[in-house]
Structure 1
Amino acid sequence: MEVLTSNWSNVQTLPDNYIFPPDRRPGTKKILSSKDIPIINLERINGPERDQIIQQIIKSSEDFGLFQVINHGVSRDLTDQTMAVFKEFFASPAELKAKFYSNDLNSSCRLYTSTLNYENEEVHYWRDNFTHRCHPLEDHIKHWPEKPVNYREVVGKYSIEVRRFLMKILGLICDGMGLETGYLEGEMSKNQLISVNHHIPCPDPSLTLGMPEHSDPNLISMIQQGDICGLQALKDGQWIGIEPIPGAFVVIPGLQLRVISNGKLASIVHRVVTDSKESRTTIGTFLTPSNDILIKPADGLLGSMAPMYRGYTYEEFFSIFIGNNCVAERALECLKL
């Protein structure tokens, strides 16, 4: 069978190698969308409500490890155009997508299915993924697809705008925690990836997953969900749905923010389930530190507190993270003092 699920059509039965063991299946229990997920409105961020909004971001990051943002400054027209471009890419002929198929983690632009370890997996995830680097734009845009014909123009504008948005959020987090201005800029947020997941309709969503449960290893993540539910977060031992809000971005602090904040900020465990009737496409943007910058609890936050983690480079962290099967708590345990 063709490896990329986006090349399949009219799938009636879930292949055996996509069926998870009973203890890992999402099952048939309906997961309700939570009404408690924080929604941050940035419309008045430059007015008298600025301090209140900043505290909302900090509290959401501490208590929940995830929040949605509205009035974020990226135009709805651009987000809609970008979503349309990625949907068109996944609907492209197989021969076009084959040019980008790669399981090489170091590839500047790679299309793969399930995970980068597809060949050695016992069970596959119900997704195709297209990931590429996008900052600085001029270094990477030449590696991007030339089709759809407006791909580079639209995705280029989008990557610049969402980076600006995420840097704004990081600046507000610095303000809220009392870190020096620019602490999370430069090498700390140097690299930017766009990572797009595409899930075709699944014959039996109760038996498989679109993505595994995980915490993000990076500095910060942003997800543009589209209009099909599927993202779920683990809150107080229960899975809850993250309902798509038209025009909103989901922001998830990564594990590096957890370390820099000396454990103050959370990075919630989340997963993706599938849908039996509709395709689902989501656009993720991730900021990561440069490989060799020293990451540790910020001195300005410690005061009389002892640091929880030793210093390390992001390259070292990612190696530990992969070596512990991408289980966040096990990876962080290796770095605790």
Structure 2
Amino acid sequence: MALLVSNSFNGVESVPKDYVMPPERRAGDFVRVCNEIPVINLVSDRREIVQQILKACQEFGLFQVINHGVPDKMMEDMMALYDEFFNLPVEDKLGVYAEKPRKGCTLYTSGLEYAKEDVHYWKDTLKHPCHPIDEHSPSWPDKPARYREEVERYMIEVRKMGFKILDLIAEALDLREGYFNEVSQEHTMAINRYPPCPDPSLAMGIAGHHDPNLVTFLQQDIYGLQILKDGKWMGVDPIPNAFVVNLGYQLEVISNGRLKSVEHRGILNSTTSRTSIVTFFGPNPELPIIVEPAKELVTSSNPQMFKAYRYNEFIANYLALAYSRRQGSHKGFALESYRL
């Protein structure tokens, strides 16, 4: 059994050698928090919201939203729920534990496959599908006892918010309302736990990567998220009860390159556990879904940038690249074979 970082390394005074990253994989020097990342109020003027979203998606591939409809108390309750979950004894989590990611509900440590990694990430992850809820919730953890009830309520509200934001993105691109519904039917949660690390300069939470899906919604309360912009890493300041909206590869393709996916990573600190609650919206890889640039966005002055492909084949290619590099840092290469 691979060690769960959140249970095994409390109070250690040095980073175990198989968690010490080679110098080229470390976070490096001090990274400033970027104050220019847009924070968008979803109850302001709609035309202004659409313009702000378009600009953010083109310049950063990421923005934060407030007044999004998910109740503050619900978000706070979710953070408390996952604090309790990750602090459970190991034996109470064995029912969902595996040494590598798998279909269904899985608790695993580090990266894509623990046994094949030459060095491990300082994190644990609980990941499970969420839609349809009735189909997937029986596989979710049974401890804490309130887990399924609270996560069901949360996912209902996050889905409402997610589709609202996707419609705003569609409007920004002059696409019809509901355009992204077909390619955003799979909703998966990944809850990452980054315990305090005795020397954050030596270890990593997760290396730089792009998300392969359509769009990602991230709830965080402690600093640790960084994005790569213009060749430099910048920090994303946590805003209480806000969601970070992070564009994935599929939005870059469907927008025919008008929008950008963003490379991002997770760093560590020495004093406090950090939890990120992540919800992925994207195509269902079990279905024969074709992804391609929206025909409305392909013109003589803006020719087609990407060829059409099956999403399940894209995911297989993405994961193969990640496994081959062991540390999951894709750095944009997953899209290269699909460019025209």
Q: Distance in 2 between matches of 1:283 and 1:168?
A: 19
Residue by residue over 1:271-311, the C-alpha shift from the partner in whole angstroms, topping out at 9 and shown as x without a partner, is: 00001011111100001102221100000111323211111
CA contact (8 A) 1:219 1:256 kept: yes
Aligned counterpart for 1:107 among listed residues 92, 103, 109: 103
1:124 matched to 2:120? The reply is yes
**AA at the equivalent of 2:32:** L
Are the structure 2 counterparts of residues 314 and 297 from structure 1 closer, same or farther at C-alpha, using a change threshold of 3 Å?
Answer: same
CA contact (8 A) 1:103 1:110 kept: no
Aligned counterpart for 1:146 among listed residues 142, 145, 148: 142
**AA at the equivalent of 1:290:** N
Q: Distance in 1 between matches of 2:332 and 2:7?
A: 36
Are the structure 2 counterparts of residues 55 and 149 from structure 1 closer, same or farther at C-alpha, using a change threshold of 3 Å?
Answer: same
Report the 3-state secondary structure (helix = DSSP H, G, I; strand = E; otherwise coil) of the residue aligned with 1:68.
Answer: strand
* 1:1-337 pair list within 5 angstroms: 3-8=3-8, 9-27=10-28, 29-44=29-44, 49-103=45-99, 105-185=101-181, 187-226=182-221, 228-291=222-285, 292-304=288-300, 305-325=302-322, 327-337=330-340
| Displacement after TM superposition at 1:203 (Å) | 0.6
| Displacement after TM superposition at 1:103 (Å) | 4.1
Are the structure 2 counterparts of residues 104 and 122 from structure 1 closer, same or farther at C-alpha, using a change threshold of 3 Å?
Answer: closer
**AA at the equivalent of 2:275:** T
Q: Distance in 2 between matches of 1:115 and 1:34?
A: 27
TM-score by length of 2: 0.94
CA contact (8 A) 1:217 1:328 kept: no
Residue by residue over 1:134-181, the C-alpha shift from the partner in whole angstroms, topping out at 9 and shown as x without a partner, is: 011111111111211111111111111111111111011111101122
TM-score by length of 1: 0.95
RMSD: 1.3
| Displacement after TM superposition at 1:211 (Å) | 0.7
**AA at the equivalent of 1:211:** I
**AA at the equivalent of 1:210:** G
CA contact (8 A) 1:231 1:271 kept: yes
Aligned to 2:325: none
Seq. identity, %:
46
Structure 1: gaps (5+ residues) = none
| Displacement after TM superposition at 1:17 (Å) | 0.6
CA contact (8 A) 1:252 1:267 kept: yes
Report the 3-state secondary structure (helix = DSSP H, G, I; strand = E; otherwise coil) of the residue aligned with 1:189.
Answer: coil
Structure 2: gaps (5+ residues) = 323-327
Query: Which runs of 4 or more aligned residues in structure 1 lie more than 3 Å from their structure 2 counterparts after TM superposition?
Result: 103-106
Q: Distance in 1 between matches of 2:105 and 2:307?
A: 33
Q: Distance in 1 between matches of 2:73 and 2:183?
A: 30
